[in-house]
Amino acid sequence: MAGTVRLILAFHNHQPIGNFDGVFEQAYEDSYLPFLDTLEQYPEIRFALHTSGSLLEWLESAHPEYINRVRTLVTRGQVEIIGGAYYEPILANIPRRDRIGQIRMYTDHLQNLFQTDVRGMWIPERVWEQSFTGDVTAAGIKYTILDDHHFRAGGLEPEELSGYYLTEDEGRLLSVFPGSEHLRYLIPFREPHETIDFLRHVANNNENPIVVFGDDGEKFGTWPETYRHVYEDRWLKRFLTALQENSSWINVTTPSETLDHVPPRGTFYIPDASYREMTEWSLPTGRQAELSRLSHQERHDDADWENLKTFSSGGFWRNFRVKYPESNEMYTRALGISAQIEELEQTLGKEHGVLQQATRCLYRAQCNCSYWHGAFGGLYLPHLRNAVYASLIEADNLLQSIIRQDGPWVDYSLGDFNLDGRKEVLLSNHRMAAFFAPACGGQMYELDLRNCHTNLLATLNRREEAYHQTVIDHAEHLREHGEQQEEQVNSIHDLVRFKQPDLDRKIAYDNWPRKSLIDHFMQPNLALDDFHAGHGLLGRQSEVSYEGTILPGEGSVTLEMKGRAEFIGAEVEVTKSVTLSEASPNEVQIRYQLDGLPLQVPVHFGVEFNFASMPGGASDRYYYDTAGMQLGTLDMRLDLKQTSRLGLVDEWQGVDVSLESSQEADIWTFPIETISQSESGFELVHQSVAVVPHWQFAMEDSSPWIVELTLNLDTSLAQARKLAEMGSERDTSDNQVPVS
């Protein structure tokens, strides 16, 4: 007699904070809506649905009818709602208090919205550490779904994965279902009968087995070529019909129904892991390429090779913060905001209205997509990083409104803000906040504009990625053989597509941080092209440790940083001072002094600034000169001679940045563009612009060389727009239509 099997289908729908409204809408039209349209026609096919809070908020506003239809399916017992952390953070990337807070907040919202109990949660990217057990159970969660990769890495055999397990931390129990990696690659890419055949094999070789499919809903229409495959070619209907036709032995059910009727297979402590691909992506680039080669090579001469591969665990998710320092910058900034909120809650209470607003902003900033990179754009997408900083800056503004009295102010603080074991400095006033790392070349690594919630230093370095070799190899193949048509729909993990031509020729890597106040001693007469390529530096001043001193003033504060530079056999002292004030709150005053320069020797000195959050290639984002004349869009290379001022404008954001010099300078500008992987292919992404004033001179005497720079940050247009929007919101707030 043929065996039976319980099949749990769990679909995870997500769009990150900061994604474009058009992307939300397209995903809705391509995936979420047609998927719901189809499943409604199969009421006996039960499934579990997780929707991230960022997507759910958009759906509640843009498509309340979708929410109502899902609620109907919940009421008739076809859908089980899975909860989670509200804004889809990686649990390893936020402190315990925020894990519990986000889960509880989202559970409350889902239960009120859908009028149902929420017992389970989706673990974002299935990034798991065993200590999370205590946190998620403290938040009221009873079960979750992880990949079978987690269980296999812990030593379980394939035949032991046909059920769920209890896991425990400090006496708290959590039920955990292993999701099938094999099904992730079958559904929806292979024909339905292959899934049926797999389930039949499981049913015939296990006693009362449970098989779980848990994966992205975007695979059903949004991923490349899947809309045609899933809906136009009727894959989804054929799959659901096949499940119906085999319902005598395939019981399509939900996690809660299974928990209520099937006992666990036992207790298992799950090792720290994620899905297999994620553990590869989190490795250093060189080791990632090596693991990929080892994992995919054929070893016909070694019968134990398949078993050995099980124990190649890959990397650890938290090391994304090491691989990408920009991820660590966002993470540590969010940690600081979280700690401030917790401290203020001790005196003001958690019910304080402004603190609750700040907490929600913090939670939004913890959305995971901007903090890592794999098959999706993630960290490489500037609009996602900008959204993180926008929420963090808004949270900071709210906290400052509690801490400070109304009116102008200026302040400073010291601390290991980026958790590198060294002291950083924060200079701030009522218009901006600037973070400096004296020990790292005295660089300014974050510059927040409070009015427009923008970090002008949300930059990203160009660095080697394991897939860059794929770009190079595939480009050479295309030039030799031309484009070849794919005969089947592939997973995004297997796609090779170029969104722009000649990407292999644009791969470049940065040798120093693309931040601001990066000091350069350069070869005389160095050309822009050579500097852009990373050549011609005399030493690496960005790696020199500067000593920082705070000089408080009346209505101002100055950070003075001193460092040493080896120059033509001489030891030069570099002193740079940065001042913020109440009287000129939109200005950063910068003073450089070079002492000990050799006499009658050509000196070529430059100071690099980088500006992110200002896209290139758009007509309303441009450079302008001392006369206010436009010089071109922000993706242009400029080699300006003997000028005292250069401006950058982003009309869309309402930001006007100008840099003025007390000594006329030559100025280089060029875009920083990365070659990165996304679900739709390899692409060129504008990250920031570099602006490098530089001076060539020779000292006639032993006096110091001095230049003063003024960075003016005009956000008055952004502030005017903000006030207008606030007035419009007040006018329309009484006309809001709630979801029924």
Residues taking part in catalysis = 125, 216
In 217-353, the DSSP E strands lie at 250-253
Per the document, the length of the chain is: 740
Q: Which residues contact 675 (CB under 8 A, 6 or more apart)?
A: 462, 465, 468, 471, 503, 506, 507, 682, 683, 684, 685
Contact (CB, 8 A) for 238 and 45: no
Token pair 């991923």: residue: 223
- Measured between alpha carbons, how far is 591 from 95 in angstroms, rounded to an integer? 39
Question: How large is the greatest C-alpha to C-alpha distance in the chain, in angstroms?
Answer: 99
| C-alpha Rg value of the chain to the nearest Å | 28
CA 93 vs. chain centroid, Å, equals 11
Contact (CB, 8 A) for 180 and 211: yes
User: Parallel, antiparallel, or unpaired: how do β-strands 5-13 and 47-51 relate?
Assistant: parallel
To 10 degrees, what angle do helices 382-403 and 325-348 make?
30
Contact (CB, 8 A) for 630 and 622: yes
CA nearest neighbour of 455 among 403, 390, 382, 528: 390
Q: How many CB atoms lie within 10 A of CB 730?
A: 9
Token pair 């020797």: residue: 601
Q: Which residues contact 678 (CB under 8 A, 6 or more apart)?
A: 375, 376, 377, 380, 381, 499
To 10 degrees, what angle do helices 96-114 and 53-62 make?
30
